[in-house]
Structure 1
Amino acid sequence: MSQRSLVAALLLAAIAAAPADPTGWQDEVLVAAGSRVSSRTGLAISTSSGAIHVAGATSQCPQDCNFPWYCRSLDGGLSWSTAVVIAGGPIVWNDNAIALEARGGTVTALAPCQQTIYRDVSTDNGAKWQGSGSMGQGSRPALTSLFGSRYAVWDDDRYGAESTEIFFKRSPDGGSTWSPPPGQGVPPDNAMRLTYLPGRSEEADICTELPITQEAPPPLGGFIVVVWADNCPGGPSADFDLRTNWSGTGGESWFYGTSGRPVLATGGDSRYPAIDCYEAVYPWTLHLVWQEGGNSICYTRSTDRGASWDSLQWIGTGYHPDVVADQYGVHVVWWTHGMYTDVIKYRRSTDFGTNWDREVQLTSLQPSRIYSDSRWPKITADLQGRHVVFGDSREAGDALAVWYKQNPNVHRAGGGQSAGVVAAEPASVAVWPNPTSGPVFIHLSRTLGEGVSVVAFDAQGRVVKRLICSGSEARWDGRDESGRRLAAGVYYLRPEGLDSGARTQVLVLR
């Protein structure tokens, strides 16, 4: 028997002996013929309005797919649309990057081509795209959203190869037009420069946080948080550390100035950060993962918006992690070298970063996967569950074809080994400022999805206003259905048409 045949026989034996996956992850599905990925930043996933959106970028495929591409699923990931070209021109070797954000039926994509970042927007949930236009100079963009606005960060070496900096722009219309805060743009693309540090600032990620607690609200109703890797003071031998910064003014000012705040002094090389928060459970709390010292996947948590951080936690061995937080906890994915192939790994913390369930291998051995590699995972979460996309070589050779896996919203007690099921978090509404004499921002917990109506009623139980939340968010000016301003007093907001366990929020109008 040849060595290759012996390896195959051993793998098939391992498959036969392996128990069924107890964690609830479903089998992977090929996203689209021709979909390819060849780098950590070359794949993105988002969800909105009942659709799963996936986009990618690679230079390692035939010329007809050598462009940023997009496809979607409208049936929970079972089938996918044909990949279409979006956002910019042909991908070259160092342009393997894309960012994607979907909210309220508007889908925004950013992709670089030869140091120009192009934007593209769909306002009908991915059915049609407007066409690309440039919005910045640089590479490796990251996107987030808040109340219909989009916020983007990226890195660029316009000041020299060893002087890479982080830049920022915002869009008030879902990504069609972009600009810096007034008077803060720098040439050549009129972007706001976030970092003024010696050395290289790069690999930025961004998220938004809503102030569920009754703190003084920011003007736009939420906070923007940025994290990046930085090798200050620079030089070829300098290790990278992580830094973070946040803004409560829509990016006009940043709490830690132009240098940010160090996360943790690890003594090693900290790269490829990813950040998320889930403020409906733990306000002000940030969840951060990164690759440390070559091949360690690490996690830390901040409960004060980055002023301090918990001790480093080792999650696993591997490369290029991604993180998402939802009502069930914190979820981390990464890829690592298996016995014969590269595989995707996953871990979950149901208490939001204190303790962690056992490691799970998502790309389990199957006869069709012998000698195929899985890399570059991305994860997101919504009403339906956790969604992961990754590249796998079984269909594409050196450029990995894109596959999708889902973990439906069923939380199994005991790390998935028990048959017991924990009920989902009750539906809830958060409002701020509260009390208020002006407009109020409304946020639905992620368990509800999008397009849900919220009913406002007075102390006598009379309905005064119904609001449709776009992207789980809404803004109310305190007027009733006829447009008249409501009298000062106590009012109540509650999700409409949901289970009886939905929580009612008290709102005081002055």
Structure 2
Amino acid sequence: MNTNPSPLHMRHCLLLVVFLVTSLVPGRGQDWLFGEDGARSFPRLRPGAGDVIVLTYCVVRGQQTDVYVTYSNDGGSSWSDKSLATTVRSGTIGLQRQPQAVLDNEGILHLAFEDLRAGASSIDAWYCRSTDLGVSWSEPRRLGAPSYRDFVSIAADSAGHVYVSYLGNAPSGLPTEARVQVFVSSDRGMTWIEPVVVDNIPGGIACECCQQSVDVSPDGTVAIAYRANVSNVRDIHLVRSTDFGQTWQPAVKIQSGPWNINGCPSTGPKIAHDLTGATHVVWRDARDSVGRNVVWYAKLPANTTEVPQNIDLSSARAENADYPDLAVTADGKTVFVVFESGTGLQSAVSFNSGETFTLRTLDEFVRSNAWASAVLRQTGGQPFSVWQATRDGRYDLRYDDGTSMSVQSDSDLHGHLRLTSSGLEIDIDEQVTVSISDPLGRLHVREHLAPGHNVIQALPRGLTFVSVQSANGTVKTVRLLRP
């Protein structure tokens, strides 16, 4: 077997290095991912090789939404120029529907998304790719003949295979019988075989409007996690393929307690693999034995089929937890999960291969529509997360890079603030920037303050958020109510 890289492979690797080194621009600030004002939303992070991170996000323009892709090769410290990949109908994004891009080992960007295009009778799965790291994109193409296809997910392996999984009609064509299906390309997205139905629980189908998630382990095993529907028992299952998606093993149940619900809960799982082949899964359910929304984590070792231990990540700190995402280091020792809740955006991190987790609040002011997404830097294992928050009355992307919290609610800050008849008095021992916003994120005041005693007189009435940014970029935020 010839193990020397081919000239074509070397050319792609050189192209990847050149673009990643020369086209990056600095990420600015510790509060918002991009320094300029914007209306960015629906972020999705996916890891690449080393410390490469791919970010897909959207800009809504009325009935149309622009889909952008950018990437970082230094764990999120700097980002490439944004690349407009495609435009979709705005109504095709939401409830876990979102475009998502992955970068393969040859430097090709692959983008999968849902759209309802002119002349179509239903939402469908679409795909485009870029062979020059976003300088140009192929014309979007529908995957397969026109049909109902929804809730897409995408993954790529190191051997040229690209997988796009989705929920679609049953082979009989009945829209009420959703099935998990997958398109496979063996030539990096140039051509695609006919889709294969992969969910195979006797007497069951897929939950009709819950996102499913596809990922590839380092040994090439493909796994798809999804929520099943067996007479309204809607539990999380996993299917695996060891022959590049041609055949699929019987479904493995991941959820250890049943959830009976007469209706779709509109929330599905996310998965990731480590070098041991273990599959890490996160999801939300309100199983019968608990009766409330809980975010759960489980790890399924390679080649095992027993129901894994389910670990409750949310109950100790958060209510109404939902929409988790996760990332895992290559060695499987660090597991990082983000999820939204009624007590703010939360993170849970484990440094012992998912046995125990430590929780913290990333953003207490974002309690829904966060679209939080997470990756882990493979160098050092530091987490990087992005989510959707309100900025001056519009959505934009906040982030946390694992070294300094982008949004921090700190009770110690209250000791430096006093509401008086003169306004908001602030005593500080360093130079800071103070920003005061209303509950919609609209900025009312921004002042640069010197060390010592300061008074801000233009404090709006009612509930306000006061953020104090120090010279090192850390932002601490508290809520104040001025009568």
Q: Into which bin does the TM-score normalised by the smaller protein fall? A: 0.5 to 0.7
| Corresponding letter in the other structure for 1:350 | F
Q: Report the CA distance between 1:262 and its aligned residue.
A: 2.1
Q: More relative contact order in 1 or in 2 (CA 8 Å, sep 6+)?
A: 1
Among 259, 269, 277, the alignment partner of 1:273 is 269
Q: Report the CA distance between 1:248 and its aligned residue.
A: 0.7
User: CA-to-partner distance for each residue in 1:459-498, whole Å, 9 max, x for gaps?
Assistant: xxxxxxxxxxxxxxxxxxxxxxxxxxxxxxxxxxxxxxxx
What residue in structure 2 maps to residue 244 of structure 1? 238
What residue in structure 2 maps to residue 107 of structure 1? 109
Q: Report the CA distance between 1:308 and its aligned residue.
A: 1.3
Unaligned runs of 5+ in 1: 1-25, 180-184, 186-190, 212-221, 365-369, 410-510
Asked if 1 retains the 8 angstrom alpha-carbon contact of 2:45 and 2:53, the reply is no
What residue in structure 1 maps to residue 375 of structure 2? 380
Asked if 2 retains the 8 angstrom alpha-carbon contact of 1:49 and 1:125, the reply is no
Asked if 1 retains the 8 angstrom alpha-carbon contact of 2:199 and 2:239, the reply is no
Name the CA distance, whole Å, in 2 between partners of 1:334 and 1:177: 36
Q: Report the CA distance between 1:347 and its aligned residue.
A: 1.0
What residue in structure 2 maps to residue 71 of structure 1? 70
Unaligned runs of 5+ in 2: 1-28, 117-122, 287-291, 405-483
Among the aligned pairs, what percent are the same residue?
15
Instruction: Name the SS for the 1:92 alignment partner.
Output: helix
What residue in structure 2 maps to residue 156 of structure 1? 168
Asked if 2 retains the 8 angstrom alpha-carbon contact of 1:143 and 1:150, the reply is yes
Q: Report the CA distance between 1:93 and its aligned residue.
A: 4.6
What residue in structure 1 maps to residue 180 of structure 2? 166
Q: Report the CA distance between 1:333 and its aligned residue.
A: 0.8
**Runs of 4+ off more than 6 Å:** 370-374
Name the CA distance, whole Å, in 2 between partners of 1:76 and 1:286: 23
User: CA-to-partner distance for each residue in 1:187-238, whole Å, 9 max, x for gaps?
Assistant: xxxx212235544345211122234xxxxxxxxxx211111001113xxxx2
Name the CA distance, whole Å, in 1 between partners of 2:37 and 2:142: 28
Give matches, 1:78-477, under 5 Å.
78-81=77-80, 83-87=82-86, 89-93=88-92, 96-104=97-105, 105-114=107-116, 115-136=123-144, 137=147, 138-147=149-158, 148-157=160-169, 159-179=173-193, 185=194, 191-195=195-199, 198-201=204-207, 202-211=210-219, 222-233=220-231, 238-256=232-250, 260-268=251-259, 271-279=267-275, 283-293=276-286, 295-316=293-314, 317=318, 318-326=321-329, 327=331, 328-338=333-343, 343-356=344-357, 358-363=358-363, 375-384=370-379, 385-397=382-394, 400-407=395-402
Name the CA distance, whole Å, in 2 between partners of 1:133 and 1:240: 33
Over 3 Å counting, the alpha-carbon distance change for 1:404 and 1:178 in structure 2 is farther
Name the CA distance, whole Å, in 2 between partners of 1:149 and 1:242: 26
What residue in structure 1 maps to residue 448 of structure 2? none
What residue in structure 2 maps to residue 459 of structure 1? none
Give matches, 1:475-490, under 5 Å.
none
| Corresponding letter in the other structure for 1:375 | A
Name the CA distance, whole Å, in 1 between partners of 2:92 and 2:246: 34
Q: Report the CA distance between 1:331 and its aligned residue.
A: 1.1
What residue in structure 2 maps to residue 464 of structure 1? none
Over 3 Å counting, the alpha-carbon distance change for 1:48 and 1:35 in structure 2 is farther
Report the TM-score when normalising by structure 2.
0.62
Q: Report the CA distance between 1:303 and its aligned residue.
A: 2.0
Q: Report the CA distance between 1:334 and its aligned residue.
A: 0.6
| Corresponding letter in the other structure for 2:124 | T
| Corresponding letter in the other structure for 1:56 | Y
Asked if 2 retains the 8 angstrom alpha-carbon contact of 1:329 and 1:349, the reply is yes
Name the CA distance, whole Å, in 1 between partners of 2:218 and 2:384: 23
Q: Report the CA distance between 1:390 and its aligned residue.
A: 1.0
Tell which deviates more after alignment, 115-124 or 371-380: 371-380
Tell which deviates more after alignment, 202-211 or 105-114: 202-211
Asked if 2 retains the 8 angstrom alpha-carbon contact of 1:285 and 1:301, the reply is yes
Name the CA distance, whole Å, in 2 between partners of 1:120 and 1:27: 33
Over 3 Å counting, the alpha-carbon distance change for 1:130 and 1:48 in structure 2 is farther
User: CA-to-partner distance for each residue in 1:104-125, whole Å, 9 max, x for gaps?
Assistant: 3221110110212211212223
